């Protein structure tokens, strides 16, 4: 005889039900929000119509008519405003991505250095954090920009290392392969995936047997080896764009402009100071007993930090670290202060020429909202991956 299942519960739609009242209040809130948004949009559009101000995004197809000093993709002044804004978006992403990578490296190194047994290292790390964390970011950007345009030598007397790397008021120039780059990048991408799979295998082996494999140098070796494979597939090209000192300037190679270097160094140095404090706080959150237990097992300081302390500290580090990544991306909008053509700078020029202020500001908001949400999603995924699974 089959056991009788209890009858399904019916929702009580009475106003005495807390769930029903909650749904009603949420519906009322949504209606009020929608009405507020509609009122603001309608009022703005009506005021613009009365004053004879044009609206709409049709201007994106018109010719921009202005040049951009630094681009990642080919651009001509005769092309559209949409293309110009896209160039600005790519410039913003370039600063944000490179800045996040450098900030992570510097911030983690300084944060771990705060626990060094060497008093000089601890003092330098402490001085770095207290100095750059307490100076406004805008002043730091201006300071680094002045370093490039005032202190460094002129382009005809650039500092150089082995005749390959040049640093001057004209920026930083360095060698770069002339051909075969897509094949090498594709190979390095395959190597990155292989290295990630290797790390997963090593992690599972460590959890099952306690034997720790190489999870740093082996993945790096995969990236290098597969990059070399891509180079071989490309025909083993040896042509390089090498900078050379001319009478009045440095020509050839790849050049990073003073504006780009100023915004990149300023954001990296400033944000890394906060990341260092985040790392320090995360490490201090791990109880001293964990460190003593690791020492009792015979682990050296490096193994204790890598295998015991940092994995537990990551639960505390990742959430505030995400905030610092978001701050770096949003602070890149200050690039206009040093003349770097990011999306804000190009949008401002577009506003001055087209008069579409509302539309351009909406585009800027959409760009930063999209980048921030994407960063948050990636970091939340990483946070779930790093969470300690209790058995």
Q: Any idea what the CATH number is for the domain that residue 296 is in?
A: 1.10.3720.10
- Most confident range (mean pLDDT) of 44-58, 100-114, 307-321 is 100-114
Q: Are the CB atoms for 325 and 100 separated by under 8 Å? A: yes
- Regarding whether 282 and 222 lie in a shared domain, the answer is no
- Regarding whether 234 and 298 lie in a shared domain, the answer is no
Alpha-carbon distance values, 379 to 117, 357, 372 (Å): 32, 33, 11
- Regarding whether 266 and 372 lie in a shared domain, the answer is yes
Asked whether residue 205 is assigned to any structural domain, the reply reads yes
The tokens for 2 are 């089959």
CA-CA distance, 194 to 214, in Å (whole number)? Answer: 14
CA-CA distance, 358 to 55, in Å (whole number)? Answer: 8
Asked whether residue 335 is assigned to any structural domain, the reply reads yes
- Regarding whether 381 and 274 lie in a shared domain, the answer is yes
pLDDT band at 217 (very low <50, low <70, confident <90, very high): confident
**pLDDT of amino acid 31:** 94
Asked whether residue 48 is assigned to any structural domain, the reply reads no
Residue 365: exposure state from Cβ atoms within 10 A (0-12, 13-18, ≥19): exposed
- Decide: pTM greater than 0.75: yes
Asked whether residue 123 is assigned to any structural domain, the reply reads yes
Residue range of the domain that includes 219: 179-238
- Regarding whether 344 and 279 lie in a shared domain, the answer is yes
For the chain, how many structural domains are there in total?
Answer: 2
Asked whether residue 101 is assigned to any structural domain, the reply reads yes
pLDDT band at 10 (very low <50, low <70, confident <90, very high): low
- Regarding whether 289 and 382 lie in a shared domain, the answer is yes
- Regarding whether 231 and 277 lie in a shared domain, the answer is no
**pLDDT of amino acid 128:** 94
> Which of 187, 206, 238 delimits the end of a domain?
238
- Regarding whether 130 and 279 lie in a shared domain, the answer is yes
Selection from 331, 387, 369 nearest residue 100 by Cα: 331
């Amino acid at each position: 005889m089959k056991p009788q299942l209890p009858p399904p519960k019916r929702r009580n739609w009475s106003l005495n039900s807390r769930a029903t009242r909650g749904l009603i209040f949420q519906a009322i809130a949504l209606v009020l929000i929608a009405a507020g948004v509609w009122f603001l949009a309608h009022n703005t559009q009506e005021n613009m119509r009365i004053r004879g101000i044009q609206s709409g995004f049709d201007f994106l197809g018109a010719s921009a008519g202005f040049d951009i000093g630094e681009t990642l993709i080919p651009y001509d002044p005769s092309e559209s405003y949409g293309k110009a804004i896209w160039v600005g978006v790519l410039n913003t992403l370039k600063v944000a991505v490179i800045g996040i990578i450098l900030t992570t490296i510097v911030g983690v190194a300084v944060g771990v250095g705060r626990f060094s047994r060497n008093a000089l290292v601890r003092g330098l790390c402490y001085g770095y954090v207290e100095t750059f964390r307490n100076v406004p970011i805008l002043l730091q950007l201006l300071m680094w920009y002045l370093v490039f345009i005032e202190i460094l030598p002129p382009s005809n007397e650039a500092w150089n290392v082995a005749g390959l790397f040049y640093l001057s008021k004209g920026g930083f120039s360095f060698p770069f392969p002339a051909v075969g780059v897509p094949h090498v990048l594709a190979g390095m991408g395959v190597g990155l995936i292989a290295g990630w799979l290797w790390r997963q295998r090593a992690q599972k082996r460590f959890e099952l047997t306690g034997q720790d494999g190489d999870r740093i140098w082996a993945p790096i070796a995969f990236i290098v080896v597969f990059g070399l494979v891509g180079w071989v597939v490309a025909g083993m090209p040896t042509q390089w764009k090498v900078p050379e000192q001319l009478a009045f300037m440095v020509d050839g190679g790849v050049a990073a402009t003073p504006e780009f270097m100023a915004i990149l160094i300023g954001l990296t140095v400033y944000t890394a100071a906060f990341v260092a404090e985040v790392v320090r706080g995360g490490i201090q959150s791990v109880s001293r007993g964990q460190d003593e237990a690791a020492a009792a097992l015979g682990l050296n300081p490096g193994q204790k930090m890598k295998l015991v302390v940092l994995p537990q500290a990551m639960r505390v580090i990742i959430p505030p670290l995400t905030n610092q990544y978001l701050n770096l991306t949003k602070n890149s909008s200050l690039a206009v202060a040093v003349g770097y053509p990011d999306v804000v700078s190009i949008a401002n020029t577009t506003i001055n020429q087209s008069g579409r202020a509302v539309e351009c500001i909406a585009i800027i908001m959409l760009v930063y909202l999209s980048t921030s949400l994407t960063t948050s999603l990636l970091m939340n995924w990483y946070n779930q991956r790093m969470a300690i699974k209790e058995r």
